[in-house]
Amino acid sequence: MDLNSLVQSSIADTTGSLAPFAPELILCISIMGLLLIRLLPFGDRIDAGYLAAAAAAVALYFGGPWSSFVSPSAEPAELFGGMIVYDSFTVGIRALLLAFTILFVIFTKFSGMPGKEDATDFYCLILGAILGMCLMVSANHLLMVFLAVEMASVPSYVLAGVLRGNRLGSEAALKYSIYGAGAAGVMLYGISLLAGLTNTAHLPSIATQLSVIVPELSRPEQMVLMLATLMIMVGLAFKLSAVPFHFWCPDIFEGATAEIGAFLSIASKAAALALLVRVSLGVGVLGPDRITAADIPRPQIESSEESDDPNIAGRRTENSNATDVGLFAVADEVHSHAGDSSDPASSDSATTGLPLAPVRNFIGVLIAILATVTCTFGNLAAYGQTNIKRLFAYSTIAHAGYMMMPVPAALSLAAAHPESARDAVSAIVIYIAIYMFMNLSGFAVIAFLRNTLGTGEIADFAGLIRKAPMLVICFALIMFSLVGLPPLAGFVGKFALFASLADGYQLTGETHLIVLLVVGGINTAISLFYYLRVVKVMTIEPESELLSTHDTNVIGYVPLAFVVVTTVPIALWIVNWNQLAGWSSEAAQQLFG
């Protein structure tokens, strides 16, 4: 293969990849537009917020699951030579992120958080972070994982300190960035170890490589593999604010404004969770196209780099489009036993991924432990909080724990029961979607109260119900939804999540799944206490001094309307969550064979 054809093919691949990548491109263009528009004479008068919302809306229009523009085929595809994977999961989570961006911008408009001066910078950073998160969701290569995480993190560091002259905010930003840099370094180390061990950084190829080498690994090599997994997990755990990498979270949430709290707790967490799913399934499960590899005839092209292992035939994958041979040659090696291609039955036994079982088990137990500790610690630490933002910080930590729970279930189920594994991932998607509304309106209430009362101390909200009954009713609904009490939407999420654990346990008999289920259940009961305390202060206790100077309807009617509008879905979702369930299971559709 000469240079010319190589260039030709990579150009073809790149141009072919552009269409599904449109939402990200739109975000890029609008970031530049936002920055440049200030140079124009009338630029000052254009509101950056509306531009950002419009950009997100356009990106959503082109990137949503309904758009024929980006989903020409039902098959998952790898873009840009395998750097990015484009499948239903990408589309689903990306649509959630973009929808959240729109809601978030509207929220900031009501709360008036970025002043006119800062507006452009603020929304540029938001869009930049969202762009990074979109890449996190679709990352298919360890380098991309790292780049995307950094791309999402760096704007977040700035956002944490975006309020000038706010000492707490600056401190928070510094803490956040130092922590982030540390975690990123560790993660990068882990990535290089893993890449070194498997000779590739392309996730599906790592899986196929591992399935070959794991049975033959020597003890030190096993240690290296475990260490690499652990280190990568550190980076992900940092983004998820999982215990013990959560220390930044309460400080940032207290120091930064409530708006940033909402952004970090929802968008950042959703993307990190999606990335966790991607990485753990990418490493632990042979990709769906590989599972059917034996049945589908496809052109065989010699890899430029011959492997010594006779078991590894250099073989093209279906959707890497014969373009990236030189670039990611190793990436194309597909695990395929010599006799398998003619014998579907024996390939079936290969598809159950037996050699990968220890890897899956290790990752699954690791995540299960993380989830257990995170959830329990978050809930227990929230007890003592007196500041509502800190309380919410610990609440998001606990929720990260809950949201991680279906991942071990999906890992255990992936090989033998792909349908149930899909349900497990779709439980995560359901939870994210519902969590988005819960936390957004929760932080909205906090931000609006801060605007009028200038405080975030829970004690100052005492007796609020006598002044603003509607607001308190909404806030109480949000809090109970966060506990997961029916008939509120939070219950739907928790139910789906626990259901995946129960299903996983019954099908596989893995003890750590039942432990997770019990831990999740008990944590639900524990968490009631601190959420309820806030509601109790607002409803049962006598009015605080601070409030007595305020009129009724403390926060004004327009913000109240926003809170009500975002709370209505929480209260009524249970009436019909058919769409949500169907849509989320569609999103998880292509992750498993």
Partner 1 sequence: MSLIVFLPAFAALILAFFPKNTDANVFRYGTLAATLAVLVAAIVAFFFPGGLHFDASQAQLQNVELFSWISSEAFTIDYFMGIDGISFPLIVLTAGVSVLSMMAAWSITKQVKGFCILFLLLETGMLGVFLALDFFLFYIFWEVMLLPMYFLIGVWGGPRKEYAAIKFFLYTLFGSVLMLIAILMLYFSSDLNTLDEQTILSTHVVKTVIAGDGSLSAAEGAMESLRARGYTGTVGDKKVHTFNIMALAAMGQNGSGLFDTELLLGWKLQHWAFLLLFIGFAIKVPSVPVHTWLPDAHVEAPTPISMILAGILLKMGGYGILRICYPICPEAGYDFRWFVCTVGVISMVYGAFAALAQKDFKRLVAYSSVSHMGYVVLGLGVWSVGTSQGYNWEYWDMGIKGAMFQMIAHGVSSAGMFFMVGVVYDRVHHRNLEEFGGLYGKMPVYSGLAFAIFFAGLGLPGLCGFIGEVFVVLSVWNFSYLLAIISAAVVILTAGYILWALQRVYLGAEYKGPHEEALTPINSRELLVGSVIVFFAILFGIMPSLVLRYMDATIDHQAQTLTRVIQTIDENRAAAALDSSAESFDGMPTTTADQVNVRHPLNGIALTKPAPKMSAQNN
Told to check if 426 binds partner 1 by CB under 8 A, we report: yes
- Shortest CB 220 distance to partner 1, Å: 24
Given the rule CB under 8 A, which of 71-79, 81-89, 369-377, 415-423 is the region that contacts partner 1? 415-423
202 phi, psi to nearest 5 deg: -85, 120
Contact status, residue 567 vs residue 478, Cβ threshold 8 Å: yes
Decide: residue 545, CB within 10 A, 0-12 exposed, 13-18 middle, 19+ buried.
exposed
Decide: residue 11, CB within 10 A, 0-12 exposed, 13-18 middle, 19+ buried.
exposed
- CB within 8 A of 439, min separation 6: which ones? 262, 265, 266, 392, 396
CB nearer to partner 1: pick between 324 and 510:
510
Given the rule CB under 8 A, which of 77-85, 105-113, 148-156, 490-498 is the region that contacts partner 1? 490-498
Contact status, residue 94 vs residue 588, Cβ threshold 8 Å: no
- Which residue matches tokens 């750097």? 83
CB nearer to partner 1: pick between 298 and 550:
550
CB nearer to partner 1: pick between 361 and 451:
361
In DSSP notation, 117-146 reads TTHHHHHHHHHHHHHHHHHHHHB-BHHHHH
- Shortest CB 399 distance to partner 1, Å: 16
Told to check if 196 binds partner 1 by CB under 8 A, we report: no
- Shortest CB 378 distance to partner 1, Å: 17
Told to check if 485 binds partner 1 by CB under 8 A, we report: yes
| Angstrom distance (rounded) from CA 549 to CA 407 | 49
- Shortest CB 284 distance to partner 1, Å: 10
Site string for partner 1, 384-413 (x = CB under 8 A): ----------------------------x-
SS3 of 299-346: the string is CCCCCCCCCCCCCEEECCCHHHCCCCCCCCCHHHEEECCCCHHHCHHH
CB nearer to partner 1: pick between 80 and 577:
577
Told to check if 360 binds partner 1 by CB under 8 A, we report: yes
Contact status, residue 168 vs residue 195, Cβ threshold 8 Å: no
CB nearer to partner 1: pick between 301 and 540:
540
Given the rule CB under 8 A, which of 57-65, 194-202, 265-273, 351-359 is the region that contacts partner 1? 351-359
Given the rule CB under 8 A, which of 31-39, 155-163, 316-324, 421-429 is the region that contacts partner 1? 421-429
Told to check if 459 binds partner 1 by CB under 8 A, we report: no
Decide: residue 346, CB within 10 A, 0-12 exposed, 13-18 middle, 19+ buried.
middle
Query: Binders of partner 1 among 560-589, rule CB under 8 A?
Result: 574, 576-578, 581-582, 585
Told to check if 495 binds partner 1 by CB under 8 A, we report: yes
Applying CB under 8 A, among 486, 548, 561, 572 the residue interacting with partner 1 is 486
Query: Binders of partner 1 among 502-561, rule CB under 8 A?
Result: 502-503, 505-509, 511, 514, 517-518, 521-522, 524-525, 528-529, 532, 536, 539-540
- Shortest CB 583 distance to partner 1, Å: 9
CB nearer to partner 1: pick between 43 and 469:
469
Contact status, residue 447 vs residue 258, Cβ threshold 8 Å: yes
CB nearer to partner 1: pick between 35 and 561:
561
Contact status, residue 249 vs residue 241, Cβ threshold 8 Å: yes
Told to check if 423 binds partner 1 by CB under 8 A, we report: yes
| Angstrom distance (rounded) from CA 27 to CA 34 | 10
Measured in residues, the chain has a length of 593
Told to check if 112 binds partner 1 by CB under 8 A, we report: no
Told to check if 362 binds partner 1 by CB under 8 A, we report: no
Strand 84-86 and strand 312-314: the pairing is unpaired
- CB within 8 A of 464, min separation 6: which ones? 471, 472, 538, 539, 543, 547, 554
Told to check if 185 binds partner 1 by CB under 8 A, we report: no
| Angstrom distance (rounded) from CA 11 to CA 58 | 26
Nearest to 400 by CA among 491, 488, 230, 268: 268
Residues in contact with partner 1 by CB under 8 A are: 352-354, 356-357, 360-361, 412, 415-416, 419, 422-423, 426-427, 480, 485-487, 491, 495-496, 498-503, 505-509, 511, 514, 517-518, 521-522, 524-525, 528-529, 532, 536, 539-540, 574, 576-578, 581-582, 585
